[in-house]
Amino acid sequence: MSGFFSVAYYTGTIIFGFSALFLLPMMIALYYVDLNSLFDFSISMSLTMMLGIGMIMYGHKRLDTKESLSWRHGLMVASFTWILLTLLSAIPYRLSGYSLSYLDAMFDVMSGFTTTGLFLIQDLDHIPQALNFWRHLLTFVGGQGMIVLAISFFVKEMGSAYKFYVGEGKDISLVPNVRGTAQWIWKISFVYMFIGTLLLWVQGLRIGLNPINAFFHGLYIFQAAWSTGGFAPNYQNILFYHDFGYELVGLVFFIIGSFNFGLHYALIQGKKQEFRHNIEIVSFFVSSFLLSALAVVYLKNAGIYQDAVSMFRRVVYNVLSAHTTTGFGTVYAQQFVQDWGALGITIMVVAMLIGGSACSTAGGIKGLRVGIIIKGIFADINRLIKGDKTMRVVKYHHIKEHVLDDASFRSATSIAVLYLITFTIGLILTSFAGYALSDAAFEVASVAGNVGLSIGITSALMPDYLKLTYIVIMYLGRLEFISVFVLIGMFVKGVYKWLRRY
Amino acid sequence: MVTTLLSLWIGAQAQLISIQELLNQSKVFDQQTVIIEAEVILEVLERGEMAWLNVNDGSNAIGVYLPIEMTEEIDSFGDHQNQGDRVRVEAIFYRNCPEHGGEMDLHAKSISIIEEGFTIERPISTWKFSFAIVGFTLSMFSLWMYRMYRKRVRKASEHI
């Protein structure tokens, strides 16, 4: 039971604070005089608030027991909060009637929180504006991190806060204290949100949207791009706008959204050389160039696209969307199957699994780990070739200089292996449902890397076990496994102890 | 060979097809005249003398490129409050449109409204209203209870 009260208290605090977010879609519902949506979000907010308060009051007992929060409990707070918030944020979806089941609603929420972008919601072109706002808000908040949001505003104890922060898959420190770091993450995001929404609003007006639609679409597309989420307000995704300029603005923001927040902070401090030396940026540009070039050559030879503009808009754009784990698609799902073929699909799978930068809004194995693994392998080969008996220190640059030692190599490799194991399990379970192996590989890579591009498997008609599997994979991928494993381990231990008592 | 023959036969007679079928058999229908029936979504995206209409027939959605004067009769557009006009579009389908950077789209030859759109009636749900009121009351009560609890705890720790 030790730490249990602390977990309850901090989880409750975060949930209570989160309940305030429901006010935003309620305002949208009021604006559009959509009373049913207003009630949906009001009910959800009330339930969330009451649960949060209940957990805080229950967990307040920790003050009597003088418990201190250990690392494992910090990680449990992060992973447990995500589960509860997924359950609670799904309520408006289900109440709206546009999700066919609660499982479908949870799928969409987890997809939003993890900035994946796959969806099961029905009739997207007719959903309430408040619900559309909520979808994109979840992806924006999820991209930055619910724990990051909580630390910025609600959680005051710094020691505990850092443990939750790490549990959410982040470990970068922009400033010495974690609250300052969390607040900087939000400051950076809000500044970009202002600029991005303005640019997309202007572009939206240029392409024919009325001012209100241009504003909301600009806001939604920015939120989805910056968070590398990939949601869009209409069914056709980014194809809805039929405009290269609109796609380009989205592209710029999803690329910079996939960069490490530490890099953004370094640029604010005037350290422009970080762009050239950072191992993640170098590995991103190398891998995205190679994958894009390979896809372009292949599809040109296959006669699918002939001119440079088509190549950029239909090929390079989608490779970059996959690599940054955004999920904006400028081709239909059927085109991946019909036109891109096995090699094209493989390129996309590799891009999706590599993913974006660590401590960004992106998913996947992460460029930092890929860079460390490749650099580590080259260092080993080099050592063997040269037959050096002296210790040669290998370094890499990520915000600052780091030594590439066994611990960092092992850490990078462990997460990469966990991703690949998760991918394999997802692949087997998807194939088991009767889908072709290449299609399954594409879809599972998209789920595991929190990308959101679909080859057509994700739909309300897919088996429930597969929806649940994808929810778990999205969750594992976003929190990068460890905090989830700690939660599962503690749960199993708790059940075992309870069973032993009887 | 079969695909070519099929394309030639299809080209000879425009046929009504769903958008999903069009996407699934894009090679067969490439640069052929097809007919779709679908709802117009959100608004006309005007581009000078031309415009884009986004249409959704329930199976999928696609963009239709057409002269702006063809859109003048369309009054209702699909969103949460409205069912958009249902239109019948005869158009050339492009699998990789050379004019639009390789986009899969339709270039309209003719368009006609087959069903007028309307405002969707959405009566206020009384059970949602009731639950919202009850929920709000309970949540405010629990907030008040929490404040009282915090005051008690603070007083108790001051005494200590």
Instruction: Give the helix ranges, DSSP H, for chain B.
Output: 2-12, 19-24, 26-29, 126-159
Query: Residue B140's pLDDT is what?
Result: 95
Looking at A276-285, A330-339, A484-493, B9-18, which range is the least confident one?
Answer: B9-18
Report the residue of chain B nearest A63, measured CA to CA: B153
Mean pLDDT of all residues in A384-393: 72
Structure tokens at A415: 């997460």
Contact call for A236 and B54, based on CB within 8 A: yes
Residue in B79, B139, B146 nearest the CB of A56 = B146
CA distances from B75 to B40, B72, B78, B120 (A): 10, 8, 10, 15
**Domain residue spans in chain B?**
2-119, 123-160
Q: How confident is the model at residue A479 (pLDDT cuts 50, 70, 90)?
A: confident
Mean pLDDT of all residues in B57-79: 95
* Parallel/antiparallel/unpaired status of strands B86-97 and B103-115: antiparallel
Query: Residue A492's pLDDT is what?
Result: 83
CA distances from A181 to A152, A272, A306, B91 (A): 8, 20, 47, 55
Its ipTM equals 0.89
- How many Cβ pairs closer than 8 A exist between chain A and B? 141
Mean pLDDT of all residues in A408-417: 90
Instruction: Spell out which residues of chain A touch residue B125, defining contact as CB-CB under 8 Å.
Output: 36, 39
Mean pLDDT of all residues in A84-98: 96
Mean pLDDT of all residues in A229-233: 94
d(CA A121, CA A62): 41
% of chain B residues with pLDDT over 70: 91
pTM of the prediction? Answer: 0.91
Indicate whether B69 pLDDT > 60.
yes
Residue in B41, B102, B128 nearest the CB of A95 = B128
Chain A, window 413-472: residues with a beta carbon less than 8 angstroms from a chain B beta carbon = none
Nearest to A483, CA basis, from A116, A191, A73? A73
Nearest to A318, CA basis, from A336, A304, A339, A303? A336
pLDDT digits (tens, 9 = 90+) for A243-273: 999 999 999 999 999 988 888 888 888 887 7
Report the residue of chain B nearest A43, measured CA to CA: B132
Query: Residue A131's pLDDT is what?
Result: 97
Indicate whether B2 pLDDT > 80.
no
Mean pLDDT of all residues in B3-22: 73
Whether A150 and A170 have beta carbons less than 8 Å apart is answered as: no
Pick from A4-8, A203-207, A480-484 the range whose average pLDDT is largest: A203-207
Mean pLDDT of all residues in A319-330: 95
Looking at A80-94, A194-208, A420-434, A479-493, which range is the least confident one?
Answer: A479-493
Query: Residue A319's pLDDT is what?
Result: 96
Q: How confident is the model at residue A404 (pLDDT cuts 50, 70, 90)?
A: confident
d(CA A140, CA A157): 25
Q: How confident is the model at residue A85 (pLDDT cuts 50, 70, 90)?
A: very high
% of chain A residues with pLDDT over 70: 92
Supply the CATH classification number for the domain B2-119: 2.40.50.140
Report the residue of chain B nearest A237, measured CA to CA: B61
Query: Residue B12's pLDDT is what?
Result: 53
Exposed e or buried b per residue across B141-155, where buried means at least 16 C-beta atoms within 10 angstroms of its C-beta = ebeeebeeeeeeeee
Contact call for B105 and A39, based on CB within 8 A: no
pLDDT digits (tens, 9 = 90+) for A286-314: 999 999 999 999 999 998 888 999 999 99
Contact call for B23 and A38, based on CB within 8 A: no
Chain A, window 113-132: residues with a beta carbon less than 8 angstroms from a chain B beta carbon = 125-129
CA distances from A253 to A199, A222, B28 (A): 11, 7, 37
The identity of residue A360, as a single letter, is S
Q: How confident is the model at residue B52 (pLDDT cuts 50, 70, 90)?
A: very high
Instruction: Print the SS3 string covering A227-279.
Output: CCCCCCCCCCHHHHHCCHHHHHHHHHHHHHHCCCHHHHHHHHCCCCCHHHHCH
